[in-house]
């Protein structure tokens, strides 16, 4: 299909969305233009644009995103590694499942944000507490998805492997891991998405030098409505990117799984 | 067989029991300083004090009221949007892209904006919670309505049912399970967000009790808070789950007649 044809189809299917965004934008501009809502509350599109250019050119946005991403990388690594390992051993061994499941289920009931005050007492208000908090948040989704992924591996595959007298390692490598992979990847996506939310929560609760949550807090303290909107859009955009990226990976693995069947 | 089940249950108690004994041992000998981790007995006493002084009940009442209002506001508006998008194609075509855009934004990002508009009092917290409840509800309602099998709709077209009858006999029954999932997601989200809102903006509430205790290094009170919010969240989900089986079960048996 030619590119022009693709574009026409895209426009024909999506133009409604463009219209509603345009209408929303026009309403926003109109409200600002006629000063129906004070600019202290609703910044004009131009103010938002300037605020964006300002944080980008001064490098603050980059540094803030960088700071948050480092925290996420550390917390996510620790949390997903531990969660994956525990989920894997619980998936493979019923005894270990019975040993750990009640404890895990009890801990899982705590709304993640509720850990913040406790973590601050235990780890202080510096980096460690933020990383720990993110690690806790990333731990549970991957644990559950790894566990369920392994348990969802079709029993008939395992039987086939037994007929061929696969060794334990070969069984894991050839049957269990490939079968559980899509679920594990969706666990990674969930963990990553959670990490992104939690880094913002962590940073607005305990301040640090650079972080997207700190930028968010300072936008409010400085009464800078333009920056507030910029932060909302940036946080939303990163969340969207994470979801898309891992969503694509997941979809690919799933098509592979289907065709393999 | 029965013995096996009991054995399996007991297996799950081993690790919590070991942790409890270690906790009791380490704290009663103050190997771990009580500011970091108070002894189990201290936590129980603290809970009892907070309970009998009515402080816990008062703060829980505030938090639950906020959750209640935020949940209702968010769930109702989410349900309405989801229904409108599900039933009318033009509404879906025009509003779904906007909804998809806004739902990408994590609720936490709205905090400064909402505080700017609503101050840091009740309205901020309620609206904030309702934002969080709105998204899963709208999504699940839309999913439920869109998930009605096309063959059902063809059958009712053949029988020339009126739109109300279609709604009552086909769409509502098949969308209900998804809507009910939406409600549960909403409620657990609302319960987490009320804690978050109370950590950020002062006032009464269980989250605020935990913030103050944290500043005063009253670890026992913080731990009581963690346990109480976990149990409350669990209980709320269980209640919704029971209602779900009760009412949806009823619905299914009606259909079967």
**B31 domain-assigned:** no
Question: How far, in whole angstroms, is CA A243 from its chain's centroid?
Answer: 7
B18 near A CB under 8 A? no
The whole-angstrom distance between A228's CA and the closest CA on chain B is 6
* CA proximity to B101, closest of A60, A14, A162: A14
* CA proximity to A114, closest of B34, B77, B228: B228
B99 near A CB under 8 A? no
B8 near A CB under 8 A? yes
Residues 64-103 of A with CB under 8 A from B: 95, 98-103
Tell me the pLDDT of chain B (257 aa) as tens digits.
567 778 777 888 888 899 999 988 888 887 888 888 888 888 999 999 998 998 899 999 999 999 999 999 999 999 999 999 999 888 988 999 899 889 989 999 999 999 989 988 889 999 999 999 999 999 999 999 998 888 888 888 888 888 888 888 888 888 888 999 899 999 999 999 999 999 988 788 999 999 999 889 889 999 999 999 999 999 999 998 888 888 876 454 444 33
Contact criterion met (CB < 8 Å) for B104 and A237: yes
Task: Using an 8 Å CB-CB cutoff, list chain B residues near A19.
Answer: 94
Residues 15-54 of A with CB under 8 A from B: 16-21, 24, 41
User: Do residues A25 and A80 both lie within one domain?
Assistant: no
User: Do residues A186 and A240 both lie within one domain?
Assistant: yes
Task: Using an 8 Å CB-CB cutoff, list chain B residues near A98.
Answer: 8, 11-12
pLDDT of residue B254: 44
Tell me which of A12, A42, A115, A117 to substitute to probe the interface with B (most B C-beta atoms closer than 10 Å).
Answer: A117
Rg of chain B in Å (alpha carbons) = 23
Q: B122 is written with which tokens?
A: 């009740």
Nearby residues of A196 by Cβ (< 8 Å), 6 or more positions away: A72, A235, A238, A239, A242, B106
**B13 domain-assigned:** no
pLDDT of residue B192: 93
Q: Find the DSSP H helices in chain B.
A: 2-28, 40-52, 55-87, 89-103, 111-118, 122-146, 150-158, 163-166, 172-200, 206-215, 219-256
Kindly report, residue by residue over A17-67, the tens digit of the pLDDT.
888 889 999 999 898 888 888 888 889 899 899 999 999 999 999 999 999
Of A18, A111, A204, the CB nearest to B233: A111
Distance in angstroms (rounded) separating the CA atoms of residues A132 and A120 = 10
CATH label of the domain that carries residue B192: 1.10.3720.10
- What total number of domains does chain B contain? 1
* CA proximity to A199, closest of A189, A212, A216, A217: A212
The residue of chain A nearest to residue B224, with distances taken between CA atoms, is A118
Contact criterion met (CB < 8 Å) for B112 and A115: no
> Domain residues for B246?
49-256
| Residue listed under structure tokens 């219209």 | A19
**B252 domain-assigned:** yes
Distance in angstroms (rounded) separating the CA atoms of residues A238 and A193 = 9
**B250 domain-assigned:** yes
User: Do residues A151 and A229 both lie within one domain?
Assistant: yes
User: What are the DSSP calls for B24-61, one per residue?
Assistant: HHHHHTTSS-TTTS--HHHHHHHHHHHHHTTHHHHHHH
Distance in angstroms (rounded) separating the CA atoms of residues A144 and A105 = 10
- Is residue B67 within 8 A of residue B194, CB to CB? The reply is yes
Kindly report, residue by residue over A62-89, the tens digit of the pLDDT.
999 999 999 999 999 999 999 999 999 9
The whole-angstrom distance between B27's CA and the closest CA on chain A is 15
Lowest-pLDDT choice from A138-152, A205-219, B179-193: A205-219
Tell me which of B109, B139, B228, B238 to substitute to probe the interface with A (most A C-beta atoms closer than 10 Å).
Answer: B109
The whole-angstrom distance between B233's CA and the closest CA on chain A is 7
Task: Using an 8 Å CB-CB cutoff, list chain A residues near B12.
Answer: 98-103
The whole-angstrom distance between B247's CA and the closest CA on chain A is 25
Q: What's the ipTM?
A: 0.86
pLDDT of residue A26: 92
- What total number of domains does chain A contain? 2
Q: B128 is written with which tokens?
A: 């904030």
pLDDT of residue A256: 60
SS3 A164: coil
The whole-angstrom distance between B256's CA and the closest CA on chain A is 31
Mean pLDDT of chain A: 88
Q: B191 is written with which tokens?
A: 């319960």
- Is residue A148 within 8 A of residue A176, CB to CB? The reply is no
First-last CA distance in chain B: 37
The residue of chain A nearest to residue B230, with distances taken between CA atoms, is A110
Distance in angstroms (rounded) separating the CA atoms of residues A226 and A43 = 5
Nearby residues of B109 by Cβ (< 8 Å), 6 or more positions away: A200, A216, A231, A232, A235, A236
A·B CB contacts under 8 A:
147
Contact criterion met (CB < 8 Å) for B214 and A120: yes
* CA proximity to B108, closest of B186, B218, B193: B193
**B44 domain-assigned:** no
**B69 domain-assigned:** yes
Q: What is the DSSP letter of B120?
A: T
Tell me which of A109, A218, A221 to substitute to probe the interface with B (most B C-beta atoms closer than 10 Å).
Answer: A109
Contact criterion met (CB < 8 Å) for B15 and A196: no
User: Greater confidence, A237 or B248?
Assistant: A237
pLDDT of residue B203: 81
Distance in angstroms (rounded) separating the CA atoms of residues B98 and B243 = 33
∠ CA(B169), CA(B172), CA(B177), 5° rounding? 125
**B8 domain-assigned:** no
Burial label for B98, CB within 10 Å (0-12, 13-18, 19+), is: middle
Of A18, A114, A236, the CB nearest to B104: A236
> Domain residues for A122?
43-260
Residues 120-179 of B with CB under 8 A from A: none
The residue of chain A nearest to residue B211, with distances taken between CA atoms, is A117
**B87 domain-assigned:** yes
* Other Cβ atoms within 10 Å of B29 Cβ, number: 9
User: Do residues A21 and A50 both lie within one domain?
Assistant: no
First-last CA distance in chain A: 30
CATH label of the domain that carries residue A185: 1.10.3720.10
- Is residue B207 within 8 A of residue B194, CB to CB? The reply is yes
Query: Angle formed by the axes of helices A94-108 and A127-151, to 10°?
Result: 130
Cα-Cα-Cα-Cα torsion B88, B142, A13, A245, nearest 10 degrees, comes to 170
- Is residue A87 within 8 A of residue A144, CB to CB? The reply is yes
User: Do residues A21 and A122 both lie within one domain?
Assistant: no
The residue of chain B nearest to residue A198, with distances taken between CA atoms, is B108
Distance in angstroms (rounded) separating the CA atoms of residues B249 and A184 = 33
Distance in angstroms (rounded) separating the CA atoms of residues A134 and A112 = 9
User: Do residues A186 and A153 both lie within one domain?
Assistant: yes
| Residue listed under structure tokens 């965004």 | A21
Cα-Cα-Cα-Cα torsion A231, A57, A241, A116, nearest 10 degrees, comes to -40
User: Do residues A24 and A60 both lie within one domain?
Assistant: no
Kindly report, residue by residue over A170-211, the tens digit of the pLDDT.
888 888 888 888 889 889 999 999 999 999 999 988 888 789
Contact criterion met (CB < 8 Å) for B214 and A121: yes
Distance in angstroms (rounded) separating the CA atoms of residues A216 and A227 = 8
pLDDT of residue B80: 95
Q: What is the DSSP letter of A174?
A: I
User: Do residues A14 and A60 both lie within one domain?
Assistant: no
Phi-psi region of A206 (alpha: psi -120 to 50; beta: other; left: phi over 0): beta
């Amino acid at each position: 299909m030619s590119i022009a044809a693709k574009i026409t189809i895209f426009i024909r299917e999506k133009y409604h969305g463009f219209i509603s965004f345009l209408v929303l934008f026009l309403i926003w501009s109109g409200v600002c233009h006629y000063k129906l809502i004070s600019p202290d509350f609703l910044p004009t599109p131009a103010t938002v644009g300037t605020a964006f250019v300002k944080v980008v050119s001064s490098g603050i946005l980059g540094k803030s995103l960088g700071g948050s991403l480092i925290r996420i990388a550390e917390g996510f690594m620790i949390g997903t590694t531990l969660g994956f390992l525990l989920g894997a051993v619980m998936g493979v061994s019923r005894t270990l499942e019975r040993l750990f499941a009640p404890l895990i289920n009890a801990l899982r009931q705590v709304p993640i944000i509720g850990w913040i005050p406790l973590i601050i007492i235990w780890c202080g208000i510096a980096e460690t507490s933020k990383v720990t908090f993110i690690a806790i948040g990333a731990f549970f989704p991957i644990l559950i998805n790894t566990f369920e992924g392994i348990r969802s591996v079709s029993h008939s595959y395992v039987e086939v492997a037994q007929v061929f007298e696969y060794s334990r390692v070969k069984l894991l490598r050839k049957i269990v891991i490939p079968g559980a992979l899509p679920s594990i990847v969706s666990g990674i996506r969930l963990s990553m998405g959670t990490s992104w939310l939690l880094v913002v929560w962590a940073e607005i609760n305990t301040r640090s030098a650079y972080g997207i949550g700190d930028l968010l807090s300072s936008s409010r303290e400085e009464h800078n409505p333009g920056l507030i909107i910029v932060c909302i859009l940036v946080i939303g955009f990163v969340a969207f990117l994470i979801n898309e990226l891992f969503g694509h990976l997941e979809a690919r693995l799933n098509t592979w799984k289907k065709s393999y069947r | 067989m029965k013995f096996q089940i009991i054995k399996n249950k007991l297996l799950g108690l081993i690790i919590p029991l070991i942790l409890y004994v270690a906790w009791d041992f380490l704290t009663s000998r103050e190997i771990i300083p009580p500011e970091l981790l108070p002894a189990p007995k201290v936590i129980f006493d603290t809970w009892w004090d907070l309970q009998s002084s009515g402080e816990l009940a008062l703060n829980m009442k505030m938090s639950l009221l906020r959750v209640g209002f935020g949940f209702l506001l968010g769930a109702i508006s989410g349900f309405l949007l989801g229904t409108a998008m599900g039933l009318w194609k033009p509404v879906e075509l025009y509003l779904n892209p906007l909804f998809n855009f806004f739902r990408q934004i994590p609720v936490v990002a709205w905090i400064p904006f909402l505080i700017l508009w609503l101050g840091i009092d009740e309205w901020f917290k309620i609206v904030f919670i309702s934002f969080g409840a709105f998204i899963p509800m709208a999504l699940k309602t839309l999913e439920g309505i869109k998930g009605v099998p096309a063959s059902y709709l063809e059958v009712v077209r053949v029988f020339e049912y009126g739109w109300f009858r279609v709604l009552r006999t086909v769409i509502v029954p098949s969308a209900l399970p998804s809507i009910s999932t939406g409600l549960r997601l909403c409620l657990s989200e609302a319960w987490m967000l009320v804690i978050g809102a109370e950590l950020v903006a002062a006032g009464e509430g269980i989250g605020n009790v935990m913030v103050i205790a944290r500043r005063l290094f009253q670890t026992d009170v913080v731990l009581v808070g963690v346990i109480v919010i976990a149990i409350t969240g669990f209980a709320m989900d269980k209640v919704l789950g029971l209602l779900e089986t009760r009412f949806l079960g009823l619905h299914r048996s009606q259909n079967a007649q």
